[in-house]
Structure 1
Amino acid sequence: LLVIVSISHFRQLRTPTNLLLLSLAVCDCLVGLLVMPFQILLIEPCWLLSDLACVLYYFIPFITVSASVLNMVLISVDRYVAICDPLHYSTKFTQQTVKVCVLLCWICSIFYSFMTLLDNLKQPGRYKSCDGECVININGAVDLVISFVLPVSAIIILYVRVFVVAVSQARSMRSHVVAVKLQRSLTVTVQRSELKAARTLGVVVAVFLMCYCPSYGMSLSGDIKISPSTNLFVYFLVYFNSCLNPVIYAFFYPWFRKCVKLIVTLHILQPQSRLTKVM
């Protein structure tokens, strides 16, 4: 919520990259507000609500997980263009372009979730073996490929490319003479800023992969018996990723720490607080 308020309120933070972080923060917030509180209903031995409510409940986790994955892909593309093609970044990644991409991201997530759960909506409760169960059926192989294999492959390929270019730029900077013109000095400063942003978002993506891999790894395990406690822990790990993202922001983004201080001290209620310089 602090990330959402910070980027939404302070005009200086409304950059294309931060708009992607805003969309990711909305996913995190929805997990905390709508997904986690209802997990207790799935832990209980009996599902107390209707079969339709069971299917509808799964819509929110499916949408948030799909949106998180797509947002990670967009963030990776954003860093790839910023590092590998910096001269055209400002023209390719405008605020309007990013807003359209984020909108399409959420539309695709909602559509994919609807198509995935469509069979369960036609006849709610058809897959449960006894009363009091909340069970749905999805095509695990299709979900694994679309929700994990394809986007994660794209993320890894893009970040490997970013890493290679970043190392190349770092070596190039070291080889330059210290005394340079102001223009070149500004360019180096911008490049370092972009590299730092790439490193921070790289940590976000790495944590994302560590939290999501066990869940989708279970999909590849086939008929291997997995205890209910292990199953619960693995899915909790997916949701826990939403808690880790803001923590990473707090550690790596100075502007976020400054924004939190301004929000907690109610500075944002003052006139013209939107124009405060936080970067």
Structure 2
Amino acid sequence: MATLEETDLCFPELLNSSCRKTIRPHFETMLIYILLSFNSLLTAALNLLVIITISHFKKLHTPTNLLLLSLAVSDFFVGLLMVFQIVLIDGCWFLGDLMCTLYQYVDYIIASASAGSMVLISVDRYVAICHPLHYSTEITQKRVQVCVCLCWICSVIFQSLILKDILKQPGRYNSCIGECIYFINYIAGLADLTFSFIVPITVIVVLYMRVFVVAVSQARAMRSHIAAVTGKVTAKKSELKAARTLGVVVVLFLICLCPYYCVALTGQDNLLSVSSSAFVLWLYSFNSCLNPVVYAFCYPWFRKSVKLIVTFKILQADSSELNIL
């Protein structure tokens, strides 16, 4: 009987202080391992293709694509962090309290940076569609670079303040050895919920509602040639197409993000076990895999670049000068 109890422990040699494993049927465990591993590999690989594409080809060095690059970087790290979700499948953490804290810290930073990138994308599309005359002067490459850097820097600083307790003393809230839990106090949780979810979502929804209204009116104007007659300035068709594509990305982001933060919004508990919230976390991370798929369907340049990358033609001299638009 003692042997059976020991097999349920993360650390059998620590009978009085070890956490217990989550017991599942063998088939279910293997299925979860396979799905998470495949999702992790696919997410990291697809976003790495986006990163290489936008970084390598000079024709793609535009303000909008720089924002997509920032989003792809955060999505790439989400794919890498899924490895730690795989470690936690049976509810046991074997990498120590310091690694658990670093995992949570990086995870929170990526979440904030991803939300910030979505806000910047919404602002970019708002100016391009609603104020096309000012776009080239207001949204410059240098300004976007500064905004992206500030987005990541602010995410690091903000999450350092939110998680200062566990950063000072890793594992202070663990109830047993082998546990890795998310814990933030009420005030910090409220601040994170406000600035990582409520404020970004509000800005995104408001801006894209305005973009949608203006895009529809401009599409009607172009169809009826009103713009040509009245001399009214409208956004380019390419800008409207980009707005639609990025609109899909934003909608998918909201769908995958909302369940995670709704749990926090209802205030059920600030103490959230990673293993017990597997589906919510998986849905959130799955969004990072969807973005490159959207690009593949909507952007011909991404499909062309993938062919060049997988055939190693990207290694040829002056390949960065190719026009894949």
- Tell me the C-alpha RMSD between the 2 structures: 2.2
Give the TM-score taking structure 2 as reference length: 0.79
After TM superposition, what 4+ stretches of structure 1 lie above 6 angstroms from structure 2?
Answer: 226-230
Map of 1:240 onto structure 2: 286
Amino acid in the other structure paired with 1:70: G
Deviation at residue 123 of structure 1 after TM alignment = 2.1
Map of 2:253 onto structure 1: 208
Map of 1:198 onto structure 2: 243
- Alignment of 1:112 onto 2:161: no
Amino acid in the other structure paired with 1:59: Y
Give the TM-score taking structure 1 as reference length: 0.91
Deviation at residue 231 of structure 1 after TM alignment = 1.6
- Alignment of 1:4 onto 2:51: yes
Bigger relative contact order (CA 8 A; separation at least 6): 1
Q: Distance in 2 between matches of 1:133 and 1:230?
A: 12
Deviation at residue 174 of structure 1 after TM alignment = 2.4
Q: Distance in 2 between matches of 1:253 and 1:60?
A: 30
Match of 1:14 among 28, 46, 61: 61
Q: How many residues align?
A: 272
| Aligned residue runs from structure 1 range 127-276, under 5 A | 127-138=173-184, 139-176=188-225, 191-223=236-268, 231-276=277-322
Map of 2:26 onto structure 1: none
- Alignment of 1:28 onto 2:28: no
Deviations 1:45-104 (Å, cap 9, x if unpaired)? 322122222111111111111110000000000000000111010011111111001100
Distance 1:4 1:16, change over 3 A: same
Amino acid in the other structure paired with 1:271: A
Question: Hey, which of these two has a bigger chunk of helix by percent?
Answer: 1
Alpha-carbon contact 2:98-2:171 (below 8 Å) kept: yes
Alpha-carbon contact 1:16-1:93 (below 8 Å) kept: yes
Deviations 1:147-188 (Å, cap 9, x if unpaired)? 10000000000000001111111222222279x69xx8xx76
Q: Which has the larger radius of gyration?
A: 2
Amino acid in the other structure paired with 2:77: L
Q: Distance in 1 between matches of 2:172 and 2:252?
A: 37
Deviations 1:194-215 (Å, cap 9, x if unpaired)? 1100000000000000000000
Q: Distance in 2 between matches of 1:5 and 1:228?
A: 32
- What SS does the aligned partner of 2:174 have? coil
Deviation at residue 229 of structure 1 after TM alignment = 6.8
Distance 1:89 1:263, change over 3 A: same
Amino acid in the other structure paired with 2:146: V
| Aligned residue runs from structure 1 range 41-60, under 5 A | 41-60=87-106
Deviation at residue 136 of structure 1 after TM alignment = 3.6
* Unpaired segments ≥5 residues, structure 2: 1-47
